Amino acid sequence: MSLICLFPGQGSQSAGMGAEVFDRYADWTLEADAILGYSIRELCLHDPRGELVLTQFTQPALFVVNALTYRAKREDGMAQPDFAAGHSLGEYNALLAAEVFPFATGLRLVRERGRIMGTVTGGGMSAVIGLAPETIQETLDASEEGRRLDVANFNSSEQTVIAGPKADLAAVAPALEAAGAKGVIALNVSAPFHSRYMRAAQAEFAAALKDAHFATPVLPVISNLSGRPYEADMVRQTLSEQIGNSVRWLESMQYLLAQPDPQFVECGPGTVLTKIVDRMRRKKR
């Protein structure tokens, strides 16, 4: 059996998340409060100021809840996984599970990542449903508006997310539907994440990563950037380039599904990632 831990990213957050782990792990909860300058428990459980949807708050909140959930599962008897993977922000939790950095270091990196990404405004993202990624790319390449868009997330063979200027997203929707898409759904996000329009943020975050220390992973972590395990000496560069490039989740899951008897455990709020895996498995049958 191959035990695989998956960690969700932005979009999985909801008020009330982490209720079962904050009091259990007061040490990390207090450490997070000191690093962030606010109560992470209050934000996640009650969100009194409506901040949980803001990137600079969402990313630290998810990192903490994912980390506490993984810690609880390990202490409750789950073995060390054979592989770990995280969707976008969740990749930091996969690296934490692989002991690449300690909790406090990971949270400081995520706080800075969220701050930098939160300064990017304009543009948007749309989920394209029921159309193969190759057909989506061909459709985008066929128009001027489409060529200003990037594929941001290869989530599955049935769902791909594109990103760029909102007017261009709206302009290509009819062509995507004509090519066979079951729907083109605008996402409630503040910026075109994982696209060329994040390259300035990527460069700024690269500078923030310069002084961080990264240990060799103790277990394989699947990179969003390549869909393959991290190379030990490429952690810094991979984390930087992740911001402005596609999340290759489909390739990551195909790689993991090819492992001997893969068993997936989602460590964080919700089950969006395990549902993607389940759909992929059903499609293969």
Question: pLDDT tens-digit profile of 196-240?
Answer: 999 999 999 999 999 999 999 999 999 999 999 999 889 999 999
Task: In whole angstroms, give the CA distance from residue 87 to residue 85.
Answer: 7
Q: Is 213 a catalytic residue?
A: no
Are 209 and 236 within 8 A, CB to CB? yes
pLDDT band at 135 (very low <50, low <70, confident <90, very high): very high
Nearest partner of 209 among 280, 120, 113, 121, judged by Cα = 113
What was the pLDDT predicted at 285? 62
Look at residue 151 and tell me whether its pLDDT is greater than 70.
yes
Q: Read off the pLDDT of residues 11-60 as tens digits, 9 standing for 90 and up.
A: 899 999 999 999 999 999 999 999 999 999 999 999 999 999 999 999 99
What was the pLDDT predicted at 232? 83
Chain-wide mean pLDDT for the chain? 96
DSSP secondary structure string for all residues of 143-179: SHHHHT-EEEEE--SSEEEEEE-HHHHHHHHHHHHHT
Q: Two tokens at 55? A: 């990137």
Domains and CATH numbers, the chain: 2-120+196-284 (3.40.366.10), 124-186 (3.30.70.250)
Nearest partner of 206 among 232, 233, 231, 243, judged by Cα = 243
Q: Is 194 a catalytic residue?
A: yes
Catalytic residue among 87, 156, 194, 195: 194
What was the pLDDT predicted at 213? 93
Look at residue 113 and tell me whether its pLDDT is greater than 80.
yes
DSSP secondary structure string for all residues of 18-81: TTTTTTTTHHHHHHHHHHHTS-HHHHHHT-TTS-TTSHHHHHHHHHHHHHHHHHHHHHTTPPPP
Task: In whole angstroms, give the CA distance from residue 189 to residue 216.
Answer: 34
Average pLDDT over residues 271-284: 90
Catalytic residue among 88, 126, 156, 252: 88
User: What are the beta bridge partners of residue 150?
Assistant: 163
Look at residue 101 and tell me whether its pLDDT is greater than 90.
yes
What was the pLDDT predicted at 283? 78
pTM above 0.85, yes or no: yes
Look at residue 189 and tell me whether its pLDDT is greater than 90.
no
